[in-house]
Amino acid sequence: MTHERMQQLLEAANLLLNARRSHTPIADLPLELQPQSLEEAAVVHGIMAAAFGPIGGWKIGAGSPDATPFFAPMPLAWMARSGTLLAGPRFRYRVLEAEIAFLLGHDLPARAKPYSRDEVVAAIASCHPIIEELESGLIDPKAAAHFSSLADLQMHGGFIHGPASRDWKKIDFKKETVTLAIDGKVQVERTGSNTSGDLMRLLPYLANEGATRTGGLKAGQWITTGSWTGNTPARPGSLVEVAFTHAGPVSLRFA
């Protein structure tokens, strides 16, 4: 990548950062600054994540069972326990996804020999239901260029985790059912609806192919594995409750 192109991606990251920090979203990045590939979007991720402090983990997903996964860093400062109140101008977009996340108990440092699925599973300390709260520096991310919204930390805004689920290795995620309710009314109910087909394939990908960007995965980091419920908007003041049949419940409230 040329020095000139790196400067353009730095400018793109700064525009998105300023939009988020000033709570003044923009329609889109200028055409010449828009990332043109997943690799360029990842460069913007790195710049933005560094500005928000330590990384608490990674969000990874795939749009279909055959799709190559794509991932983004999640700032540690945006992570909270179930029941938290999300308050302040940062929470403008208020779009929600129900997901399954894993907390690492052991490091998976970058290495030449790929990690097996069993090795990655052995490094997991616990499995949790989570709500990912989506935010953006873009007024309407769906109306902006695809790579602009991807570059904006994949629209990550918050990570709310429920308690660890018991015997999670016995859960058949292809048969697991989830509901997402707002103020007591179920908005979405789906079964086996993670778009990656097999969400466990995402973790070895992150540990292996992702290592050049992550620098290796570390104990205490979270990995969340994509939406089961699509994107569900919420109003100010609303209570959001997610319940997986076996993986358990998680909730949040907007001020």
Residue 157 confidence (pLDDT): 98
Structural domain harbouring 206:
3-254
pTM attached to this predicted model: 0.96
Query: Per the structure block, which two tokens stand in for 220?
Result: 């205490």
What average pLDDT does the segment 198-215 reach? Answer: 96
pLDDT tens sequence across 155-170: 999 999 999 998 999 9
Number of domains in the chain: 1
Query: Per the structure block, which two tokens stand in for 82?
Result: 């179930």
Residue 117 confidence (pLDDT): 97
pLDDT tens sequence across 34-71: 999 999 999 999 999 999 999 999 999 999 999 999 99
CATH number at residue 216: 3.90.850.10
